[in-house]
Structure 1
Amino acid sequence: MLRLRRHCAGLILAAGLLSPPLGISVWAEGEEDAARASLAELQAQIKSVTNQLDRARNQLSTEQKQLREAERRLGELQQAIGNNREAIRNTEAELASLASRSAELEAARDSQQVRIGTELRAAWQMGQQGTLKVLLNQESPHTVARAMAYYRYFFQARNELVVTYRATLAELATVAARSEAAARQLGEQRAELQSQQEALLASRAEREQAIAALATNIRNKDDELQQLERDREELEQLLESIKQAIVEIELPADYKPFASRKGSMTWPVDARRNNSFGASRGLGGMRWQGINLTADEGSTVRAIHHGRVVFADWLRGSGLLLIVDHGDGYMSLYAHNQSLLKEVGEWVAPGTPVSTVGSSGGLERAALYFEIRKDGKPLDPVAWCR
């Protein structure tokens, strides 16, 4: 059974309960019963979508289940490695900053030590002369007053210098402790990264074995066609379930209708298109309902418009799939990802990173499969993106 945090598009509804339907700013008093009834209906829809997906999962072959689990692990590992690398960069930057500050403090400490030595020698010389002797040798009261003021200034400056020196030594000790802790943390992060990379290699080997087993299981073109048709049917069922479960949720203030951005949205990844929408796939009259974007593995995939994530999980034929609902019946689909960066219920804006390019779902090379749909029907992305 899918994990609750990603499990189905219906989970978006739970997040939506915190805000009323579009056009209603607050729940009116006295509508508590209606709200409870709406909650019960939404929960029933969530359960219905979950059951449908579970039934679909039970139809997976052993090889497909192995591929699903291997690619899920790969996606999670890739995301963990990316997060760890960022943490390592931050720790290295902190160490560099601490080293720079330590150098500044050491220079200040050395300068202060020289000044304190000079002040101590001057104080010793004054001590040899003696304050009382200085006063008795003065004839003018004004001269005596100036001498006393000078002594006070001298001792005050010396005390301030000592206080500053002590503060420098204390900060140096703090910086040294922080540097030592950061160095330990960096060592742990690098060891963890090494472990993650070894696990990644093992997961890739598992994925290759699963793909080989799946390819062996598909013996001829008829089997492959049936597989593609089942994959398409499952995606269509998922989209229909999402459409039935989605409710209108209050949109951001700067939201612009999806249709108004036709022809001006940016492609989700900078890549080469290697098929045409509606072209034959060469198997039983099946046609392409989206665009394959060939890009380097790990390239960032970005949302094309404002919306909310309604599905983020593995789906047969699509691999790691992310679906964004843009309102008014429009959805965008991003398939065959290496890792998913957003979870069900999260809002995205144009340009928000949502996933990374991969080859999940059994592709031989990395590519993003991208679709735009209106009320479940595929639209040509070329007409919408530039």
Structure 2
Amino acid sequence: MKAGLEIAALLLAAGLAGASTASAGRQHPVRQDLQETEKRLQRQKRLLEKLQGRSTRLLEELSRLEQQDQQLRNEQEQAQQALEQCRRRLERLARRRRKLLHLEDDSRRDLARRLRILYKRGEYGWLELLFSSADLGQALERVRWLHRRARLDARLVGQLERLQQQLQKNQRQTRQQARQQDRLIAELRGRREQLQQLRQQRLAVLGLVRRQASLRQKALRELVRARRRLQGVLQRFEGGRQSSSEFSSWRGRLPAPLARWRVEVPFGLQKDRRFGTVTRHQGVDLRAPRGTPVRVVFPGRVAFADWFEGYGLLVIVEHGGGFYTLYAHLDDLRVHKGQRLRQGQLLGGVGETGSLKGPYLYFEIRRGGKAVDPARWIKH
């Protein structure tokens, strides 16, 4: 914000000062400032285009991440369905195996019972079977039936055992498939979580880029407004003639604009303690209570007395000879544009209009469009 204030001050003050100098022999300072502003506009536009391009790429990446997540979601659902099928198949196999076990037990009991019968009959049992039959044919038929039934029972038990083995094999295979599906579901879940984390990171970056783009757009609008103001200043003041002045003879003897003050930010290069950046301060920040009278340091004509963005209520006084003084953040205005002033005349009071740090006076001296150190001009 402070850098924006200094830029605005440089543009306006240099424009007013340059408009009062002779235009012969060199390019007008206001036109130089217009060219510089145009360069800044182009830089801001390029930066904004880069941010917009980055925003577009982030949106495309987010779209791809959404598609990948949807694909993984579909694969996860398919794996879950396959797992459910494996579980249902295991339940069916378990039920079938229980039935086979019961049938096998019954068959084994029947076989054991018949074998016991054959064993108990022994050598004399067959004679009993023979004499109890109506004839020899019936006796032989009974013997054949017992043996045939025993063989059938034995064959059935064997078949049941083989079925049990096949069922056990199917159960092992199905359990293995279920474990594979479990591992696949866990893997897909992990990949989706990674995608979600990446998506959140990209959303955060997108928010930052959009905030930066918003700031760039705001700066761009401010530069456009500054360019328009400069063009207006150039139209009003271009072609003005430089007059002689006694201002330079008052170096070191000018009265201060305030009766009491404290220098909060001096003139010149200033280093930001937080960010370590170095900026040039074109004037001085004089801390004083709100309402403290602000007086003009030298006779002159009011070149500007109005609200100026970043400076609040601002008074610019032309003293001739290319000299201007600026008084910013005033609480009120007691002069108007074009008014002739005597030395020490009241301009207004200390205020905080356009200020971000409470009431103070921003004071600046310009000579030929260049800011000079007020400390070398004000009498202490």
Provide the TM-score with structure 1 as the length reference: 0.38
Q: Which has the larger radius of gyration?
A: 2
Provide the TM-score with structure 2 as the length reference: 0.38
